[in-house]
Amino acid sequence: MDSDQKNAYESYQHDLEEDLATKTTVEFARSITEQQLQEAATKGKTSGKELWEILMSDLSLKSLGELLTYEIWPRGKQLQEVMVESGYATKEELEEHVAAQATETSQLGEALVDRGVLTRAQLGQALMEQQRTGHDLSRVLLNLGYVTAKQVADATRADATGAQPQRRSERVADVLRENGMVNEDQLSQLLEEAERKGEDLAEFVIAQEIVTRDALGEACSAHWGVPYVNLTLCEIAPDDARLLPEELSRNYCVIPTKKEADRLSVAMADPKEVSTIDDLSMLTGCEIAPLLAWRADIHDAINRFFPDGTVGKEESAEQASASVKDVREEGLDALVESASVTDLVASIVEGAIHAEATDIHLEPQTKDLRVRYRIDGMLYDVMTVPQSIQAPLISRVKILAKMDITQKRAPQDGHFAMLIGEREFDMRIATLPTSLGERLVIRLLNPANLFLGLKQLGLSQDAFEQVERLIHSPNGMILVTGPIGSGKTTTQYAALNQINILTDSIVTIEDPIEYELPGINQVQVDARTDCTFANILRAVLRQDVNKLLVGEIRDRETAAIAVRASVTGHLVFTTLHTRDAVGAITNLVNLDVPRFLIAGSVLAIVNQRLVRKICQNCKEEYSPEERVLRDLGYKGDIPDDLIFARGRGCNACYHTGYRGRTGIFEVLSMTEEIRGLVRGNAPEADIMAAAMTAGGRSLLSDAMRKVKKQITSVDEVARTVMFRN
């Protein structure tokens, strides 16, 4: 396959993936032909099995069932018939796929019922609605308001880690049975009646005075191995009780009872709920010691320590509306400065820092505000906040960032700093108006990342030696490429730290400035004052500068000035968004940079990604799926010395199996041979082959070195490098 054919095919693959992600079932089906499907299977990257997996991930059960029987091609052919004829799958395999998704839907519903967040009646109603709409069960449940996004995420996470917790009602039933508190007939009747009324079995039998709260509490304590506390008799210091904001205590149905060093005792309605314990540990940074307490007692205790609170108390719709109206009449400022909202903001930020998150997302939903943390590049639901304090919560953050709280219909940017422990963290804030309210994202800038050296980024020894030598060049251009969030800025900062010597004048042009670098002059791009990359770059070149960092080449003008600066005595660091190193050359050509200038100015192109590291606390050996190994180039027997590892999932990594990230790199150094190929308009494949011959290493090759060292897993490499989700 020549270069033009390869480029055309890759373009077709990209378009096909876009179609899969954005079009409806029937639109997608009509947009491709039988011949295109066969070409996709035979020409390389995307096999028929992968195509089916994409369909399975993007379409609902109802849509899949319809698609298999829909006549989408000429001659009345159905998708099922085409896939079987083309060897993508057998008819039995297709039926198994649909059955497997139906089972997965059923498991999610059962998991939510088991956790006590969904009643049987609600599940039945949701399943009927799912049959009508064809939507995923999770989406139906969210639309009906039966569950929150976090509750769905918790149930899914527990299922993914193989945890199959016994239903709370079943655990309580075991205690009642084994302690002879009721007979089997009574127990069956009580279970049926409690489920019919949608009540917790333990609370139900206490309310019916069948057993006393202390008798059942002590029995459950002995059976579950968790201390019982009677909150009506327990003395709790007010400062301890308020270690969690009121809203969190009500949402989780918990209340802190005592804090000793880094250990926090918390009374919980369900002390066996691992995800709640994980979340509280993440939010507080403490080891959580769970205590069993009854739900009604916890609510009474919360009301006692937060006597003026309204969140979570039962009230009619008319009362709730009047309450919100009163708040508005009193003025937003007073509510924004209230202790509960202030504490809630502090808890959310501190929790993100304890969890080593990079971003906090505050996203308005129909009935609440969803809070999510981005940890190691992935978003996780942390909590939901009642809609009644959505506005004051957002406003509190905007006040801290010195933003206009009255402006809610236009995007805004701001920043503030917060002292957490002995470290000061900078926060970059961005708001976006949505149909449900303002969406707010907080970027956490960890000062520890500022002083990373090149070796700490994950560069192999040979790649480190290449880059370390090149960054000390007197002039030329070093390009760092990769998608958004791949660590390009961190790499550039690490390089500048390596060469930040008193004899050089160094200037950076950034949008935005993420960290303040000691001894370096940093300039913020601001289109409102005409301070664009190109205009600032022109001015900087009149400032007797030795080394330049241009945050990103976005247009032809910036590209032309940056390239010319690199051939007139300046060392220029900059970035481009490309999939691979050699693609940066094509991007520069598309920006009208002459090939002879590219060949004469570029010193090296560093392409990178970030992969999650296996959690060392729960690392285990395993055998990956064959399809993943095939994607990564293993077609025969696996070498004996190659032992694959993954994280099983534990409290230390929040049951993800990963903790922390590292970089994977491919470094394309511009040798004389490669410069000649660039000047001669050689295909990308020839340039890449020359780079490999000169000792270069591809992104996949570097990733597999880290797999062999059990730093990361093959699944993570497939997700990051091979773009498998």
pLDDT confidence bin for 595, thresholds 50/70/90 = very high
Cβ-proximal residues to 404 (8 Å cutoff; 6+ apart), any chain: 398, 412
In the predicted model, is pLDDT for residue 292 greater than 90? yes
Q: Using one digit for the tens of pLDDT, what is the confidence trace for 657-677?
A: 899 999 999 999 999 999 999
Residue 243, pLDDT > 60, answer: yes
**Tokens for 293?**
């307490």
Residue 214 tokens read as 């202390």
Q: Which residue has the higher pLDDT, 107 or 483?
A: 483
Span 278-303, average pLDDT = 86
The predicted structure's pLDDT at residue 64? 47
Task: Assign 669 to helix, strand or coil.
Answer: strand
Q: What is the pLDDT of residue 585?
A: 93
**pLDDT tier at 97, thresholds 50, 70, 90:** low
Distance of alpha carbon 710 from alpha carbon 694, whole angstroms: 27
Of the two residues 491 and 137, the one the predictor is more confident about is 491
Least confident span in 7-16, 212-221, 383-392: 7-16
Q: Please enumerate in sequence order all residues whose Cβ is within 8 A of that of 578, keeping only pairs 6 or more positions apart, or say none.
A: 481, 482, 584, 586, 587, 607
Containing H/E element for 120? Answer: helix 120-133
What's the pLDDT tens digit per position in 102-112? 666 667 787 78
Give the confidence band of 249 by pLDDT, cuts at 50, 70, 90: confident
Average pLDDT, the chain: 78
Grade residue 391 by pLDDT with cuts at 50, 70 and 90.
confident
When comparing pLDDT for 486 and 95, which is higher?
486
Q: What is the pLDDT of residue 274?
A: 75
> Would you place residue 347 in the very low, low, confident or very high pLDDT band (cuts 50, 70, 90)?
confident
For the stretch 436-479, pLDDT in tens is 899 999 999 876 666 567 878 889 888 888 898 999 898 999 99
Which of 71-75, 468-472, 581-585, 683-687 is least confident?
71-75
Instruction: Report residue 59's pLDDT band, with 50, 70 and 90 as the boundaries.
Output: very low
> Is the predicted pLDDT of residue 598 greater than 90, yes or no?
yes
Percentage of the residues of the chain whose pLDDT score is greater than 70: 76
**What would the pLDDT profile of 118-161 be if each residue is shown by its tens digit?**
887 788 888 887 777 666 687 778 777 788 777 777 776 655 54
* Residue 363 pLDDT > 60: yes
Closest by CA to 110, choosing from 153, 194, 167, is 167
Q: What is the pLDDT of residues 250-264, one digit of tens each?
A: 878 899 999 888 889
Output 149 or 412, whichever has higher pLDDT.
412
pLDDT band at 424 (very low <50, low <70, confident <90, very high): confident
Share of the chain above pLDDT 90, in %: 23
Mean pLDDT in residue range 361-371: 90
What is the arithmetic mean of pLDDT over 684-713?
A: 90
pLDDT of residue 407: 87
Average pLDDT over residues 230-234: 89
Give the pLDDT band (50/70/90) at residue 713: very high
State residue 640's pLDDT score. 67
Nearest by Cα to 274 from 218, 215, 224, 343: 224
Q: Specify the pLDDT at position 15.
A: 46
DSSP one-letter code for 526: B
User: Which one, of 169, 44, 41, lies nearest residue 113 by Cα?
Assistant: 169
Region 489-518: what's the mean pLDDT?
83
Using pLDDT thresholds of 50, 70 and 90, give the confidence band for residue 61: very low
* Cα dist from 299 to 219, 254, 293, 643, whole Å: 22, 8, 10, 51
632-637, long-range: CB < 8 A, 24+ apart: 632/700, 632/704, 632/714, 632/717, 632/718, 632/722, 633/700
